[in-house]
C-alpha cells in the first residue's frame, strides 16, 4: 500500500539478513497520511 510505518536499516548477522527499526511513525502521523 506504499505507506510509511517505520524507518530502519538492513543488518547482516551470521550471513542472514534482517531489519533494525530505528524509528516508528506515530499513530497520529499514520492517520494524517491516510487522508
The pLDDT assigned to 11 comes to 98
Dist. CA 24–CA 15, nearest whole Å = 26
Q: What is the pLDDT of residue 27?
A: 87
* pLDDT digit string, tens, across residues 1-35: 788 889 999 999 999 999 999 999 998 888 887 77
Is the overall model pTM greater than 0.85, yes or no?
no
HEC secondary structure over the chain: CCCCCEEEEEEEECCEEEEEEEEECCHHHHHHHHC
Amino acid at each position: 500500500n506504499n505507506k510509511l510505518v517505520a524507518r530502519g536499516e538492513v543488518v547482516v548477522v551470521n550471513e542472514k539478513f534482517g531489519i533494525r527499526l530505528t524509528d516508528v511513525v506515530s499513530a497520529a502521523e499514520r492517520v494524517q497520511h491516510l487522508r
